[in-house]
Amino acid sequence: MTARARLWVRREFSLTQLHGFLLWAGLIGFLGALITAAFGWTQELFGFALTGKVGSVTEVSMALAPWQRVAVPLVGSCMAGLILQYGMQLARGRQSTDYMEAVSVGDGFISVRASLVKSASSICTIGSGGSIGREGAMVQLAAMIGSSLGRVLSFPARTRRLLVACGAAAGIASAYNAPLAASVFVSEILLGSIELESMGPIIVSAVVANVTFHQLLGYAPVYQMPMVQLVSPWELLFYLALGLLAGHLAPLFLWLLERTRQLFHKLTVPTFFRLTLGGLVVGALSVSNPQVWGNGYSVVNSILHSPWTWQALLAVLLCKLLATAAMVGSGAVGGVFTPTLFCGAVLGALTGTAVHSVWPTLTGPPSAYAVVGMGAFLGATTHAPLMSILMVFEMTRQYEVVLPLMLAAIVADHMARRYGRGKSIYSESLKRAARSEEPFSLLELAHRDEPLAEPHMKLDALKRCFAQTSFNYLQVVDGQGHWVGVVARKALAEASPESEAAALIGPDCRALKVDMSFNEALEVASQIHSENLPLVEGVDLRYVGLVTKSDLLVAVQRQLRQLDKPTPGVS
């Protein structure tokens, strides 16, 4: 009976039917809003249990003694690390929790156990004042709902990926009261394109989640936006300058996060110790600047509605950057979306304060520049300017902000792409995700029994090597095991008897690297004429073996077959 019921549900409410995808998308949006609200409640409860005070995290921090500002993040981060270290050991089986991975390169699988463990760790981090966004865990939990529903109903992988995307949109819409921007974010960054076929259920999920979270549950928007008005057409030049500034500084922000992450991972200490160290940095910074606690909602609202001196703005920006880098680098579970908006708001307020003090009659108040700065910095760090423009517009609900916002966001994105080499907040995450779910490792495909040539090998020896292989290209490897290049069989015909292998190496020699994803390997393979592809590792190009193009195609074919198989049950 259960099997028949599931079959009937899949047939009657399949995503190929209009009423089917509306039903599932709406259900995911409703449940996603509830689970994000539950996360918020739990995080606030944990903060109250730890400090004995209620209110925003920043208000709580300012009400504590200096030693408590250090102790609370330290204890909370230690608990978060212990949960993460030992909880993940109990989450057996597949532990994939990245919704970006599940949508872009995965099969729509998100582990429930691992997601709950990471969410519990995030509650401890954020509830104790950790300088990281809570939207990461919120979106993760909502996406988990979509994945679980798809697996319970045994939907194919393509459908599960779409359901996970619906959950992600529901989480973002709940967190920021921006359903349209949430839909564009999922389509623009995760799916890689905006298509009506996939946008339909995503929009429905985002709308239902937004209505549930903000209307039925009564949550107010996180940002109370001021009025924004373009005082003079000449003021667009100042917003253009703001976009240029955001475009130059965004790559530095991303570099700081990545560099700090690398420094923490070099520490040969347990996970909980790294997170504890991150909490200690936040606590130390909060002694002199308590505004570094939390995700910065209340600080941004204060900047938007009250005047700040440029010294105070600069101090809180620098401290917040260091605190966020410490938390992200330590491996704390959370998002960087909200800290990005924080940096954009402070950067915009600094710019607005400067230009308004010089040209008070031609410019609006610093709060207007703070609003536009949020969109500009977000566009520069995500490389999704359309999503950034829509998000700030939805949060302000003011058409007057559109012109300066569009100009600043597009310019910032262009400059960041130029100086940041196309890297965004999510590029490394997607790159790691692509590598974590490969059908096979390149090392597993490597052949190590093929004959090799040495750089000083003469023509007769080269001919003997070619006689032992059916390939038309021979790899040249020196005595230390470093790959030097490739010699083509046809190059021997015109070579003199005294010619050496090093002199016969072709000009266009490329190799696969062991840390490449399959997509990167396929792209490189398409540019190499040889059937046998050298596999190397390290900056010194140490030779590992050969990978054939046929092996790559077979691996991809097996992965495609695996994705088409249903995955029953929920772990």
In a domain, 222, yes or no: no
Specify the pairing of strand 532-537 against strand 512-513: parallel
Q: Which of 98, 52, 56, 46 is nearest to 77 (CA)?
A: 46
What whole-number percentage of the chain has pLDDT above 70?
Answer: 83
What whole-number percentage of the chain has pLDDT above 90?
Answer: 20
What pLDDT, on a 0 to 100 scale, did the predictor assign at position 553? 76
Q: Give me 139's structure tokens.
A: 């979106």
3-state helix, strand, coil in the chain (%, to 5): 65, 5, 25
Q: Which of 272, 261, 265, 268 is nearest to 77 (CA)?
A: 272
Using CA atoms, how far apart are residues 497 and 108, in angstroms rounded to an integer? 59
Indicate whether 14 pLDDT > 60: no
Signed CA dihedral, 527, 528, 529, 532: sign only: negative
In a domain, 155, yes or no: yes
Using CA atoms, how far apart are residues 356 and 369, in angstroms rounded to an integer? 10
Residues 427 and 306 in one domain: yes
Which residue has tokens 């609200």?
37
In a domain, 279, yes or no: yes
With b meaning 16 or more CB within 10 Å and e meaning fewer, what string describes 526-548? eebebebbbbbbeeebebbbbbb
**Where is average pLDDT lowest: 66-70, 344-348, 453-457?**
453-457
What pLDDT, on a 0 to 100 scale, did the predictor assign at position 559? 63
**Where is average pLDDT lowest: 12-16, 165-169, 281-285?**
12-16
Residues 331 and 429 in one domain: yes
The range of the structural domain enclosing residue 378 comes to 233-436
Residues 304 and 394 in one domain: yes
Kindly indicate the confidence band of residue 440, based on its pLDDT and cuts at 50, 70 and 90: low
Read off the pLDDT of each residue in 285-305 and give the average, rounded to a whole number: 88
- The angle subtended at Cα 341 by Cα 340 and Cα 347, nearest 5°, is 90
Indicate whether 333 pLDDT > 80: yes
Indicate whether 506 pLDDT > 80: no
Helix (H) or strand (E) holding 62: helix 57-63
In a domain, 448, yes or no: yes
The 8-class DSSP code of residue 546 comes to E
Asked if 484 and 523 count as a contact pair (C-beta separation under 8 A), the reply is no
Read off the pLDDT of each residue in 302-324 and give the average, rounded to a whole number: 91
Residues 238 and 193 in one domain: no
The residue from 182, 216, 250 where one domain ends is: 216
Kindly indicate the confidence band of residue 452, based on its pLDDT and cuts at 50, 70 and 90: confident
337-358 and 310-330 helices, crossing angle to 10°:
160
Asked if 289 and 317 count as a contact pair (C-beta separation under 8 A), the reply is no
pTM beyond 0.85, yes or no: no
Indicate whether 568 pLDDT > 50: no
CATH of the domain at 536: 3.10.580.10
- Tell me the per-residue pLDDT of 99-141, one tens digit each, with 9 for 90 and over: 565 555 556 677 788 888 888 999 999 988 888 888 888 888 8
Using CA atoms, how far apart are residues 533 and 522, in angstroms rounded to an integer? 11
Residues 24 and 96 in one domain: yes
Residues 423 and 485 in one domain: no
Residues 22 and 127 in one domain: yes
Q: Give me 514's structure tokens.
A: 């062991």
Residues 381 and 526 in one domain: no
What pLDDT, on a 0 to 100 scale, did the predictor assign at position 428? 55
**Between residues 226 and 285, the one the model is more confident about:** 285
Looking at the DSSP assignment, which residues form a beta bridge with residue 458? Answer: 500
Residues 169 and 240 in one domain: no
Residues 160 and 254 in one domain: no
Indicate whether 170 pLDDT > 60: yes
